[in-house]
Structure formats: structure tokens, C-alpha cells
Structure 1
Amino acid sequence: MKSKILLALLATATLAAGAHAQVKVEDAIKWRQSAYATMGWSMGRIKANVDGTYNKDEVVKAANVIQAIANSGMGALYVPGSDKGKGWAETRVKPELFTDGPKVGKIAGDFNQAANELAKVAATGDAAAVKTAFGKLGGTCKACHDDYRKDNK
């Protein structure tokens, strides 16, 4: 039984690696840009609730979207050469993102952890706790933008 599970895991890993290798640079950039745009929209929804009339259901929906994207394995969309090129628009990724492995890994891990925490806190309906968790998540976004995004506006 264990050998069948191991074989299934190896087959899955092999298929995933093959799929990763076949991603066109332009597609990887488009998919990244789409995911980040969706997260940006979701961040805006949470901010509107934190700063205005708080609606728990809206915050939960937005936080769950962010959490899903954060845990989707987007790192696979940073294929070699995707620091140049165009998806929906010219990519803003700096080449250093591809060479600063440990630092990028820490930032990505912090982002995932903050996204998971925000979704957990959002489910409680505690607006003050959401505001704090939302600020921490925003800080992880800023950490990456500061070092690895061109034209940081």
C-alpha cells in the first residue's frame, strides 16, 4: 500500500514538474498579474470595510480569496525569463527576485502566514483584530514591493 502511495506521489510530482516546464513566459506573467489584481481588489474590499461600515461576510469573502491565492503555489509562475516580457502589461518584477532565494522565500512565507491568519481572524467577525491582521498582511506585501517590484508606485 505504501509503495502505491509513493508511486502516486512521484507521478504527481513528475506531472507537475512537466506542466511547470511548459508554461510560456507570457502566460506566467499574465497569470501572476491576474492573481495580484484579484488580491488587490480583495485588499481594497477589506480596507473599505475596516475604514467604513464593517460587513463581516464581505471581509470573510475577500480574506478567503487572498488566502486561496497565497496558498495556490504562485511561485511556479516565476519561471526563468519572466522578469522581462509582457503579460497583460509589462512585468514589474526585478531580476533580483530570481537571485535572492532565501530572502524571497522568507517574504513569501511571511505573506502566506499573514494571509492564513487574516482569513482565520476574519471568520471571527472581530473588526479590530481584522484591522491588525490586515495591517500585517499589507506589511508583507510592502516588503516584497519595496525590494522586488519596478516602478513601485
Structure 2
Amino acid sequence: MKKLVAFGILALSLVGTVSAQVKPEDQIKYRQAGYSFMAWNMGKIKANLDGEFNVQQVQAAASAVAAIAGSGMGALYGPGTESDIGDRKTRVKPEAFQNMADLGKLATDFNAAAANLANAAAKGDKAAVQKAFGETGATCKACHDKYRLD
């Protein structure tokens, strides 16, 4: 777990390097697209858990969530992305940018939970997927509760 926390902090520390190559308004756009894609895939997993469990659909969706979660999205929280830019709106609270170490910890928790979800899906065990899905959702909520505007 310490390695995961260190990795999350390292990923967020690289924000300046990577974000300098992407305009702030595009950073907001890309991170919103990533979160929307993950939400869509989480919805597919939930539908499978609530209805007929199609293991292939769950595996594909969980793999997509884990891939996006581990893609280095922390680089999309660069300077200038803490507030709206023109017509590009953000729902990130400015406090997130003042607490990057905490944000990194929350991101690391989410990445670990998403990887666990993909691992559970790969095994095809619905009960394990249900548990991992709840844990992944809880990590999303932890960040939203702290750093997302209503």
C-alpha cells in the first residue's frame, strides 16, 4: 500500500511537466471525459449486478475503469484548472489544488480499488465483483464528498 501511495503522490507531482503540454481548458475537458467514461462503465457493471450477469461485459467494463483510473489523470489537474475557463466548467473545488497530497491519496485508493474490481471481474465471481464494485464506488464518493462541487 505504501508503494501505491508513493505512486499516487509521484503521479500528481508530475502535473507541472505533463500539464504544461496541454492547455488548461483541454485538461478540464480530458479529465471530464475520463470520468464520464468511467461512470458509463460503472453503470454497465451495476446493470449486470442488478440483472443478468454477463461476465464478458463486466470484465470489459471493469478493465476500462481500471485502465482510465491508472492512466495518470492526475496530470490533468494542472495550474489554471481549478476554476472555469470560458465555457469550460469544472466541478472541482479549489481546495483540491491546495491539498494535492490528500488528493493523491484519494486517487491512489481509487486506483487500487479499480484494479481490484478488474481482478474480481477477471475471475467471473459475481459476489466478488459486487464487493469490489462497492469498494470502488466508495473511493469515488470519498473524493466527490471532499473535492467536488454540487
Same fold, TM exceeding 0.5?
Answer: yes
Q: Could you tell me the TM-score, scaled by structure 1's length?
A: 0.84
Partner of 2:94: 95
Cα drift, residue 90 of structure 1: 1.2
Q: Could you tell me the TM-score, scaled by structure 2's length?
A: 0.85
Query: Where in structure 2 are the equivalents of 1:140-151 lying within 5 Å?
Result: 140-151=139-150
Flag as ranges the 4+ runs of structure 1 deviating above 4 A: 16-19, 86-89
Contact kept, 8 Å, 1:27 with 1:87, in 2: the verdict is: no
Measured in 1, the distance between the counterparts of 2:56 and 2:148 equals: 32
Cα drift, residue 34 of structure 1: 0.4
With CA pairs under 8 Å and 6+ residues apart, which has the higher RCO, 1 or 2?
2
Measured in 2, the distance between the counterparts of 1:149 and 1:104 equals: 11
- Higher Rg of the two aligned structures: 1
Unaligned runs of 5+ in 1: 1-15
Residues matched between the structures, number? 136
Structure 1 residues 87 and 57, CA gap change in structure 2 (3 angstroms): farther
Identity of aligned residues (%): 56
- For residue 81 of structure 2, give the secondary structure of its aligned residue in structure 1: coil
Partner of 1:133: 132
Unaligned runs of 5+ in 2: 1-14
Aligned alpha-carbon RMSD (Å)? 1.7
Partner of 2:60: 61
Partner of 2:12: none
Measured in 1, the distance between the counterparts of 2:72 and 2:91 equals: 20
